[in-house]
Amino acid sequence: MLSKNDASAALLAPEQVVGSAQHVPLLDGSQCAYVNLDNAASTPVLREVLQTVESFMEWYASVHRGSGFKSRVATRAYDDAREIVARFVGANVHDHTVIFGKNASEAINKLAHRLPLAADDVVLVSLLEHHSNDLPWRATPARVEHVGADAQGALDERDLDRLLEKHAGRVRLVAVTGGANVTGSMPDIHRIAVKAHAAGARILVDAAQLAAHRAIDMGPVDDPAHLDYLALSAHKLYAPFGCGALIGRRDTFEQGEPEYRGGGTISYVSLDAVDWGDAPERDEAGTPNVVGAVALAAAVQALQRIGMDRIARHEADLTAHALRGLARIDGLRVYGDTDPARAATRLGVIPFNLGALPHARVAAVLGAEHGIGLRNGCFCAHPYVAHLLGITPDAATQMRARIAAGDRRGLPGLLRISFGLYNTRAEVDRLVAALATILQHGPRGHYEEDRASGEFRSVGWSPDLAGSFALQREP
């Protein structure tokens, strides 16, 4: 673990993380430093990344096939970004290719389109998945079956073994998260890879939640423990400039046709023939997000300089500290693994509920009265949250009917805190104190729940959002 002094501080000074020193208005008319504990959704941008982008913008131009000097500079930066991202995840550029896109969701959808799956094939998807690593597979011809989870939300590998045996010879892919965005649970992806490959299947790891917190090594393709495909998003890697990446076996993307077609995807076109280009170009139709790719590459290099092991130790310390603090609040329930001694074996993502108080109301009070940002709801992982909460099929049917009727009030869900490398123990203590105050004394303001969204808003308080930032301004 970190030393006491190291553990109490962030890994980066506030000025190295854009917006980390920002103050926000509170219900009582005062202001306070904002505490961002919603990093599992999106991280802020590192100052170093922003500076790299600003420097690159002087040389921004359309990439590939441009003869001008700026185009050549931009092309080199874009191609370098591929190599940098590949190295970050331990991919061999001869066996793997890096395809840039909008985010991890698009990356997984692309793979679902590009894998040649048939109606007799089976795709195994874990119950821990974000919708982005579940719904795309349901749209393929293959049969999708879900691998269960235990009471703490960890992947049930015995169920995986059962399904691999049940569908022996038919499983084409095992899709699993590298780190659950709800509980922080980390399946042993390399052990799962060995099982998948032994069954004749390949493995996809959704690393959107994992990549900013742990070192990743996809490994050589002749290693039974290698990872065939991996998806990540820059907006969770301190580079929110609209880029993501699919890193996968080159032999997959040298075959077949892309789902998006257009400029840059071909080697030859006539009125009656099309020859597709090589990987990865055939899967990047149109002008790519060069700025996003540069930002992503700058971010992963910054993380490597800080040290992925150092980041992991820091966040494990924060997680253990938070679990100990939350355990002292009577009536607060943490879901998933609650043991601080095992903090190093999971990500710094902690879901909980505060007594019988509605999760959406608690989230609103934390924001309006304490300047703390976190997330509440089901985190784009409805089946997983339903499992953790023990929601019965009958209750789920009733919830679905209410949502269809436009009423989201009182829907079950969770609160979630998630750490970044810039968070501190002091911020954790501030959260714990705020939760204790809410439970003991209630909110200071009066809050009403919106029927359509299920969100709570403080009655009579309207903070000046446009005064902080607005695109539309009066002339």
Question: Is the pLDDT at 143 greater than 90, yes or no?
Answer: yes
- Give the β-pairing of 456-458 and 332-334: unpaired
Mean pLDDT of the chain: 96
pLDDT for the residue 475:
66
> What average pLDDT does range 312-323 have in this prediction?
98
What angle is formed at CA 264 by the lines to CA 260 and CA 270, rounded to 5 degrees? Answer: 90
Q: Is residue 48 helix, strand or coil? A: helix
Question: What phi and psi values does residue 176 have, to the nearest 5 degrees?
Answer: -145, 145
> What average pLDDT does range 32-55 have in this prediction?
98
pLDDT for the residue 3:
42
User: Can the peptide bond before residue 25 be classed as cis, meaning omega within 30 degrees of 0?
Assistant: no
Q: What is the pLDDT of residues 60-79, one digit of tens each?
A: 999 987 789 999 999 999 99
pTM above 0.85?
yes
pLDDT for the residue 6:
46
Cα 189 from Cα 184, distance rounded (Å): 14
Percentage of the chain beyond pLDDT 90 is 95
Catalytically active residues, by annotation? 380
Write down all domains in the chain, each with its CATH number in brackets: 4-44+307-468 (3.90.1150.10), 49-304 (3.40.640.10)
Cβ–Cβ under 8 Å, residues 233 and 104: yes
pLDDT for the residue 472:
85
Q: What is the pLDDT of residues 365-396, one digit of tens each?
A: 999 999 999 999 999 999 999 999 999 999 99
The tokens 């709570």 sit on which residue?
456
Q: What is the pLDDT of residues 264-304, one digit of tens each?
A: 999 999 999 999 999 999 999 999 999 999 999 999 999 99
pLDDT for the residue 8:
53
